[in-house]
């Protein structure tokens, strides 16, 4: 399922943080939507898959374990990158900064599942800097290093870049998968979405090897 940019309405957790109303997931008639214009990828030798997401999105939380298992099965020519986006929301900007700060400190992999659980199951407030800093320190993250990193120019630049990418890819809801800068993946549910992503990866692999070029 997706949280739509246009559908945001305030609801309140016990700690007073606003979340968004749920919207139907990946509801598209076609298995994918072409990205116009196509967007550049970082490594032409790799097949790039992007997940646009937010820790504040409950459906991103539901999707995360499926995506993690799917990523583990990919071949070496596939690179999957996560792009936290904000949709212009200050609370989501803080958790986007959280993602990049933990990536830099080296704590992201071990804490990502815990972040989703803390927000969506335990209803903890990780949307404010003080609260999320206290939480990560309790999880064993170095307080000084995290504090310096969280508000660093590098992290702020990454968050800004993520939002710019979301605009270029025309992302209107999360979670959203994009393949090779060319396709936004459709599907009626998460499993179908990943199956479609597999087919698009196979298509990209064939094209890269010259098999999809029409040569005989």
| Per-residue tokens: 109 | 């992999």
CATH of 3-209, one of 3.10.450.50, 3.40.30.10, 3.30.310.220, 1.10.3430.10: 3.40.30.10
Residue 159: enclosing H or E segment and its boundaries?
helix 153-168
List the Cα angle 141/58/49 in 5-degree steps. 80
Task: Please report, for the chain, the start and end positions of each structural domain, with discontinuous segments joined by +.
Answer: 3-209
Average pLDDT over every residue of 123-137? 96
List, for residues 164-201, the tens digit of each pLDDT value. Answer: 999 999 999 999 999 999 999 999 999 999 999 999 99
Mean pLDDT value across the chain: 87
pLDDT band at 159 (very low <50, low <70, confident <90, very high): very high
List, for residues 73-109, the tens digit of each pLDDT value. Answer: 999 999 999 999 999 999 999 999 999 999 999 999 9
**Cα-only R_g, the chain:** 18
pLDDT band at 30 (very low <50, low <70, confident <90, very high): confident
Whether 45 and 76 have beta carbons less than 8 Å apart is answered as no
| Per-residue tokens: 87 | 């949709």
Burial (0-12, 13-18, 19+ Cβ within 10 Å), 106? exposed
Q: How far is CA 59 from CA 23, 63, 69, 212, in A?
A: 9, 6, 16, 35
Look at residue 112 and tell me whether its pLDDT is greater than 50: yes
pLDDT band at 210 (very low <50, low <70, confident <90, very high): confident
* Bridge partners, residue 173, by sequence: 4
pTM summary value: 0.86
Provide the pLDDT for residue 209: 85
Whole-number Å distance between alpha carbons of 211 and 216: 8
Cis bond before residue 175 (omega within 30° of 0): yes
Whole-number Å distance between alpha carbons of 113 and 95: 14
Q: List the alpha helices (DSSP H) in 48-128.
A: 58-72, 90-105, 108-120
Residues 6+ away with beta carbon under 8 Å from 69: none
In the block, residue with structure tokens 């090897």: 209
Average pLDDT over every residue of 134-158? 97
Provide the pLDDT for residue 84: 98
> How many C-beta atoms surround the C-beta of residue 203 within 10 A?
17
List, for residues 6-24, the tens digit of each pLDDT value. Answer: 443 333 343 333 344 333 3
């Amino acid at each position: 399922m997706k949280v739509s940019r246009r559908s945001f309405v305030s609801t309140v957790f016990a700690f007073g943080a606003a979340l968004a109303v749920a919207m139907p997931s990946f509801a598209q008639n076609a298995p994918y939507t072409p990205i116009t214009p196509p967007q550049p990828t970082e490594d032409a030798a790799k097949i790039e898959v992007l997940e646009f997401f937010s820790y504040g999105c409950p459906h991103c939380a539901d999707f995360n374990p499926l995506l993690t298992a799917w990523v583990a099965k990919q071949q070496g020519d596939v690179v999957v990158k996560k792009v936290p986006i904000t949709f212009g929301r200050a609370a989501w900007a803080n958790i986007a900064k959280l993602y990049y700060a933990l990536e830099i400190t080296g704590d992201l992999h071990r804490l990502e599942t815990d972040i989703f659980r803390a927000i969506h199951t335990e209803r903890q407030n990780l949307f404010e800097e003080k609260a999320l800093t206290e939480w990560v320190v309790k999880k064993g993250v170095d307080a000084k290093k995290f504090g310096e990193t969280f508000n660093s120019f590098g992290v702020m630049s990454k968050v800004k870049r993520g939002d710019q990418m979301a605009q270029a890819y025309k992302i209107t809801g999360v979670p959203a998968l994009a393949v090779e800068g060319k396709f936004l993946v459709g599907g009626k549910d998460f499993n179908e979405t990943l199956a479609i992503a597999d087919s698009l990866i196979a298509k990209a692999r064939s094209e890269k090897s010259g098999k999809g070029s029409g040569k005989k």
